[in-house]
C-alpha cells in the first residue's frame, strides 16, 4: 500500500499526520502508561500516537477529553473510562484484558499518568500480577514548570497538592522547610494566594518562587519573585484562572554556627564511629566531611 493509499484508509489501528494515515504496529501484551499533552495538542509524541492507535484497550480518565486528542490525530480507538470513581469496577476488567493477552494503554486527562491521579492503583495491581508495565514518556506539568521557573533544578521534590485547610497546609510546608531541593506543588487558582502567604510565613519571605500558570496554553504565564512579593501580588489579584504549578526554590545555604557544629560533633562522637559521625555531621551542617573528621580526631585526642 502506498502512502497515498494509506491516507485514504479509515483503520482503527492507525493515526493521522498531515492528512496521511499511518498504520500502527501491533503492541505486545502490557500496560502502557501514555503521557499526553498538558495543553498544546502538538506536544504529543509519535510513540504515544502509535500506542494510542495500536492498543487493544484504551483506558482514560474522561472519554470526552481524550476524544478531542484522538480526533485531532484521526485515531478511531474507542476510549474506556477508568477514574477514581469507577476504579474498583474498571480496574479488574483491565486486568482481565491483560490476562487475555491484550495490550492496554492508560492516559490521564493531561500529562503523565500516575502523577497525582488514581492510575497508580492499576499499575500496582498489574505489577503484582506479573504483567509488564511500559511508560511512554512525554509532557509533564511539574517538569515544564521546573525548567521554565528559572530556579535550581539539580535536585527537586514534587509533592502534589497541598492540603486545603490552613493549619494542615502550614504543617505540610514545614515538613519541607529544610529540604535541600526545589519544591513543586499543584495548586488551584482560588487557593494560590493563601498558599503563597502560608509559604512565606513557614519557608521564609525572601525565598525565591515562581507561579507557573496555564503551561503550554495560549495564556501561559510565569510570575517570578520572592514568596512575599508573589503573596502580595495574589492578595490583590484574586481573579486567577487556569491550572497552576507552584515552584519554590531551595533554602539559602547559610554558614553553620560554630557553637552548633561543636554541639553536633560532641553528640555524634559518643554514639557512632568517627568516620560515620563525620559523614552525618557533614550532612547536618553542610561542612566538608574531611574537615569534620579531623575535628573529631582532635576531640578524641583531647579527651584521652
All three cell numbers of 107: 492516559
Q: Each residue of 56-85: pLDDT tens digit?
A: 999 999 999 999 999 999 999 999 999 989
The closest alpha carbon to 292, from 271, 276, 304, belongs to: 276
Mean pLDDT of the chain: 91
pTM greater than 0.85: no
Fold (CATH) for 14-139 = Cobalt-precorrin-4 Transmethylase; domain 1 (3.40.1010)
Residue 224 scores a pLDDT above 80? yes
pLDDT band at 37 (very low <50, low <70, confident <90, very high): very high
C-alpha–C-alpha distance, residues 129 and 272, integer Å? 43
Q: Each residue of 155-179: pLDDT tens digit?
A: 999 999 999 999 999 999 999 998 9
Contact 34, 71 (CB under 8 A): no
The reported pLDDT for the residue numbered 12 is: 67
Going by their DSSP bridges, the two strands 208-213 and 221-226 should be labelled as antiparallel
pLDDT band at 4 (very low <50, low <70, confident <90, very high): very low
Contact 182, 249 (CB under 8 A): yes
Which residues, in sequence order, are bridge partners of residue 133?
A: 31
Mean pLDDT over 237-243 rounds to 91
The reported pLDDT for the residue numbered 3 is: 39
Q: Each residue of 267-294: pLDDT tens digit?
A: 888 888 888 888 888 877 777 888 888 8
Residue 8 scores a pLDDT above 60? no
Q: Which CATH superfamily is domain 142-248 in?
A: Tetrapyrrole methylase, C-terminal domain (3.30.950.10)
Amino acid at each position: 500500500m502506498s502512502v497515498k493509499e494509506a491516507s485514504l484508509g479509515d483503520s482503527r489501528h492507525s493515526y493521522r499526520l498531515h492528512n496521511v494515515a499511518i498504520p500502527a504496529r501491533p503492541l505486545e501484551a502490557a500496560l502502557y502508561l501514555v503521557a499526553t499533552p498538558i495543553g498544546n495538542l502538538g506536544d504529543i509524541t509519535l510513540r504515544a500516537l502509535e500506542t494510542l492507535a495500536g492498543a487493544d484497550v484504551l483506558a482514560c480518565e474522561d472519554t470526552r477529553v481524550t476524544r478531542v486528542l484522538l480526533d485531532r490525530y484521526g485515531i478511531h480507538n474507542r476510549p474506556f473510562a477508568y477514574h477514581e470513581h469507577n476504579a474498583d469496577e474498571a480496574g479488574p476488567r483491565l486486568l482481565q484484558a491483560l490476562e487475555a493477552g491484550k495490550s492496554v494503554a492508560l492516559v490521564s486527562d493531561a500529562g503523565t499518568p500516575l502523577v497525582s491521579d488514581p492510575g497508580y492503583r492499576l499499575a500496582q495491581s498489574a505489577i503484582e500480577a506479573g504483567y509488564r508495565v511500559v511508560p511512554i514518556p512525554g509532557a509533564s506539568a511539574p517538569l515544564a514548570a521546573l525548567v521554565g521557573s528559572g530556579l535550581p533544578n539539580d535536585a527537586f521534590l514534587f509533592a502534589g497538592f497541598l492540603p486545603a485547610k490552613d493549619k494542615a497546609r502550614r504543617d505540610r510546608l514545614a515538613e519541607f522547610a529544610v529540604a535541600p531541593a526545589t519544591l513543586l506543588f499543584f495548586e488551584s487558582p482560588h487557593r494560590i494566594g493563601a498558599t503563597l502567604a502560608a509559604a512565606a510565613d513557614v519557608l521564609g519571605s525572601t525565598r525565591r518562587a515562581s507561579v507557573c500558570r496555564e503551561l503550554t496554553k495560549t495564556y501561559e504565564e510565569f510570575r517570578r519573585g520572592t514568596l512575599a512579593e508573589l503573596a502580595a501580588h495574589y492578595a490583590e489579584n484574586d481573579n486567577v484562572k487556569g491550572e497552576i504549578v507552584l515552584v519554590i526554590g531551595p533554602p539559602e545555604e547559610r554558614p553553620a554556627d560554630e557553637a552548633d557544629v561543636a554541639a553536633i560533633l560532641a553528640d555524634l562522637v559518643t554514639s557512632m564511629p568517627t568516620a560515620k559521625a563525620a559523614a552525618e555531621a557533614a550532612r547536618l551542617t553542610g561542612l566538608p566531611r574531611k574537615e569534620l573528621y579531623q575535628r573529631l580526631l582532635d576531640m578524641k585526642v583531647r579527651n584521652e
